[in-house]
Amino acid sequence: MQDPRIEKLADVLINFSTRIEKGEHLLIEIFDAPEEMALALVRACRKAGGYPHVAVRQNRVMRALIADADDENLKVWADCDLHRMEQMQAYIGLRGSDNVSEMSGIDDDQMKKYGKAYLTPVHFEQRVKNTKWCVLRWPTPSMAQLAEKSTEEFEDFYFNVCTLDYARMDKAAQALVERMNNTDKVQIKGPGDTDLTFSIKDIPTVPCCGQMNIPDGECYTAPVRDSANGVIHFNTPTIYNGVSFENIRLVFKDGKVVEATCGDDAALNSILDTDEGARYVGEFAIGFNPYVLEAMKDILFDEKVAGSLHFTPGRAYDEAPNGNESEIHWDLVLIQRPEYGGGEIIFDGEVVRKDGLFVTDDLKALNPDALMG
């Protein structure tokens, strides 16, 4: 018997996240995920009048394809997938992972080459800019381990997160969008020596409430490229190309990372030396999903943690441009709830969030009790 939670999630993805209309072509790309979810999406897409297309991938196979691909291999692979993506009006990426570290051990330069030759033209330039897209994870035992939950407990958590009332969240987020659009100076205070200032003046703010990611729950913009000064010390672990990093501390001067440390300084700085834009920041976002409370080394969840923010070395989004271009876009997360050391977000001298909770009347509807009430 079909799990009703799968049918509900498919309905959210087709009718709310990507808003499939009659005659639209949808690419459903699944990685290490069950065929039941793909079938539910195909049925929901057809019911909405769309044309579904499915690409089934496995991360072990992807590793083999990437690991020693030369320039010609990557070019033809990208050309083929780009041609298909150009025919699509919508995209759903369902990304499970039997092993979250599957890509570890691949040469760093090879991963950069793959990013430039394949990911940039197919996804960053075509899919992100020209389709209605939504990317989500699929619950696996590997993810349950990272979340320190049983498989069953994690599945229940996953479906609660992914099928919450995103319409309510979207309505509540409009006040934060207005606040951010009228803000110049932002100050971030947090555990340790975190004290960072930057400007978001005249850069648009975008609410993310179930349209592009599931789970969702953030508003993002970008700092003025040369405006960041100070220190930010991230208190959540993160995985980049299969490698785990913890306790990342960045020092900024006039927008640029001038000092970067963690448990593996050489690996961290290699990523930040990918290109000129990698040491500048392309995104500043505030997370507020009421069901996501702990980091689990999965950025689609971690960047939505209630009481969090993320500050992102690398490429800016076209919807919130600050002129920064890069092959990387690495969301690094700071949680400011009391059990993580607390902290404040200050807009033009006014505290708008303290210890993970919004404190101004116009923003209190984004606190967990309000979103879950």
Find the domain containing 217 and state its range. 166-372
Indicate the residue among 113, 147, 162 that finishes a domain: 162
CA angle 233, 237, 241 (to 5 degrees): 115
- Mean pLDDT value across residues 216-239: 96
Structural domain ending residue among the three candidates 127, 162, 197: 162
**pLDDT top residue among 6 and 149:** 6
Please report which helix (H) or strand (E) contains residue 245, including its range: strand 243-245
Q: Which residue in 170, 205, 212 sits closest to 186, CA to CA?
A: 205
Within a 10 A sphere around the Cβ of 242, how many other Cβ atoms? Answer: 16
Q: Are residues 290 and 158 in the same domain?
A: no
DSSP symbol at 13: I
54 phi/psi in degrees, rounded to 5: -130, 135
Please tell me whether residues 153 and 41 are part of one structural domain. yes
Q: Rounded to whole angstroms, what are the CA distances from 88 to 25, 82, 122, 200?
A: 5, 10, 12, 33
Structural contact between residues 124 and 315, judged by C-beta atoms closer than 8 angstroms: yes
As a whole number, mean pLDDT of residues 81-110 equals 91
Please check whether residues 214 and 82 belong to one and the same domain: no
Does the pLDDT at position 70 exceed 60? yes
- pLDDT above 90 for 298: no
138 and 14 in one domain? yes
- For 254-271, the pLDDT digits (tens) are 999 999 999 899 999 999
318-361 confidence digits (pLDDT tens): 999 999 999 899 999 999 999 999 999 999 999 999 999 999 99
Phi (first) and psi of residue 340, to 5 degrees = -105, 10
177 and 246 both lie in a single domain: yes
The pLDDT, as a whole number, for residue 101 is: 81
Name the pLDDT band for 242 (thresholds 50, 70, 90).
Answer: confident
In a shared domain, residues 297 and 205: yes
Are residues 120 and 196 located together in one domain of the fold? no
Highest mean pLDDT among 80-89, 103-112, 141-150: 80-89
**pLDDT value at position 99?**
82
Q: Are residues 361 and 224 in the same domain?
A: yes
Least confident of 16-30, 131-145, 250-264: 131-145
Q: At residue 1, does pLDDT exceed 60? A: no
Q: Are residues 151 and 174 in the same domain?
A: no
Q: Tokens 């879950």 appear where?
A: 372
Alpha helices in 182-288 (DSSP H): 265-272
pLDDT of residue 145: 83
pLDDT score of 293 more than 80: yes
- Per the structure, the count of domains in the chain is 2
CATH of the domain at 44: 3.40.1830.10
* Cα–Cα distance, 233 to 89 (Å, whole number): 40
Q: Is 113 helix (H, G, I), strand (E, B) or coil?
A: helix
* Angle made by CA atoms 155, 161, 165, in degrees to the nearest 5: 140
Selection from 219, 32, 239, 43 nearest residue 139 by Cα: 32
Q: 33-48, pLDDT tens digit by residue?
A: 999 999 999 999 999 9
Please check whether residues 172 and 313 belong to one and the same domain: yes
Average model confidence (pLDDT) for the chain?
Answer: 93
